[in-house]
Amino acid sequence: MRAVFITRRGGPEVLEVREVPDPVPGPGQVRIDVRAAGLNFADVMARMGLYPDAPKIPAVVGFEVAGEVDAVGAGVTAPAPGARVLAGVRFGGHAGKVVVPADHAIPMPVEMTFEQGAALSVNYLTAYHSLFRIGRLSRGQAVLVHRAAGGVGIAALQLCRTVPGVTVFGTASAAKHAVLREEGCQHPIDYRNRDYEAEVRQLTGGRGVDLVLDALGGADWKKGYRLLRPGGMLVTYGFANLATGPRRSLLVAARQLLSVPRFSPITLMEDNRGVAGVNLGHLWDEPEMLKAHLEALLGLFREGKIRPRVDSTFRFEEAGRAHQRLQGRESVGKVLLVP
């Protein structure tokens, strides 16, 4: 099979398609013939050497796939060969075939395409967990979603729309604001040219919001915290501000790390605010929780309430261009790789 390797730390040019032996499913495992694989910002960070959990280079990354089961190991009764499934994987997804435990291969609804299937797991699980498990989003609340036109961002907008009366403020580059509105964001904000903190404050009559979803990090976490109403929660789940160019800069990293706020339990108590973090990869040992989230998401898909928005699809040979599109702020929704 072919797989996209990160051959060394660096820009998109370090990606290379290599031929490797097909993996063989062991007892209790199935093999998926991958038809589409999701590209996530963490893959970009891994390529740059900014993702602490990434496997040792040379490595194949990729957290999610959709495809057809083409071989099963001993003792597996379902899913059977030929089943259309989606699966989250802990790295190795940017490959022609992946092996997963049989119960990690989730049958896809018949009306779901492989592209949609590969765009669901990471983005929607992250948004769902952040909004509902951590943020306890409820009727009439106000939410600020950063990177609102990104993969997780659009998933969050669609999920906010499932709760009546939720007001959504979304930051994104100006060219993407029409899509934000289409996806249910009432207040798109061009955060690259405006002070979003002042804008949210003004739009809310000084009250701020109940929930902030922030994958920007650094000083933005301070702003998000300041924008919280009493009882509000800042959910941190990424640190894009570390990645300002195609390659890692230790100076940028040092500056950003210095701007990270330090929250004391006493301050949180005095302010009536909360701060929580989300790392899907570190929930790998909580399969019941993730499975329940995924079932809820598949239910919403069947009801037509969520629809993964695919930005673009690149062949494995074009993986560098796919990384560039995601990192270059060009994408709206999900970037995919196809073998």
Q: Which of 87, 106, 166, 240 is close enough to bind ligand NAP by CB under 6 A?
A: 240
Chain residues 134-153 in contact with ligand NAP, contact rule CB under 6 A: 147, 149-153
Q: How far apart are CA 214 and CA 237, in angstroms?
A: 6
Chain residues 242-261 in contact with ligand NAP, contact rule CB under 6 A: 243-244
**246 to 45, 146, 317: CA distances (angstroms):** 10, 21, 19
Chain residues 220-239 in contact with ligand NAP, contact rule CB under 6 A: 237-238
Q: Is residue 173 a contact point for ligand NAP (CB under 6 A)?
A: yes
Tokens read off for 304: 């037509």
Q: How far apart are CA 131 and CA 159, in angstroms?
A: 8
Q: Is residue 280 a contact point for ligand NAP (CB under 6 A)?
A: yes
Q: Least Å distance between CB 165 and ligand NAP?
A: 26
Q: Is residue 40 a contact point for ligand NAP (CB under 6 A)?
A: yes
Q: Is residue 189 a contact point for ligand NAP (CB under 6 A)?
A: no
Q: Least Å distance between CB 266 and ligand NAP?
A: 27
DSSP per-residue letters across 160-183? HTTSTT-EEEEE--GGGHHHHHHT
Size of the site for ligand NAP (CB under 6 A): 30
Of the CA atoms within 13 Å of residue 288, those in its CB half-sphere come to 0
Instruction: Report which of 300, 325, 338 is spatially closest to residue 156, judged by C-alpha positions.
Output: 300
Task: Name the burial class of residue 256, with classes exposed (0-12), middle (13-18) and buried (19+) by CB atoms within 10 angstroms of its CB.
Answer: buried
Task: Name the burial class of residue 139, with classes exposed (0-12), middle (13-18) and buried (19+) by CB atoms within 10 angstroms of its CB.
Answer: exposed
Q: Is residue 312 a contact point for ligand NAP (CB under 6 A)?
A: no
Q: Which of 252, 321, 329, 338 is close enough to bind ligand NAP by CB under 6 A?
A: 329
Binding site for ligand NAP (CB under 6 A): 40-42, 122-123, 126, 147, 149-153, 172-173, 176, 215-216, 237-238, 240-241, 243-244, 278-280, 326-327, 329, 331
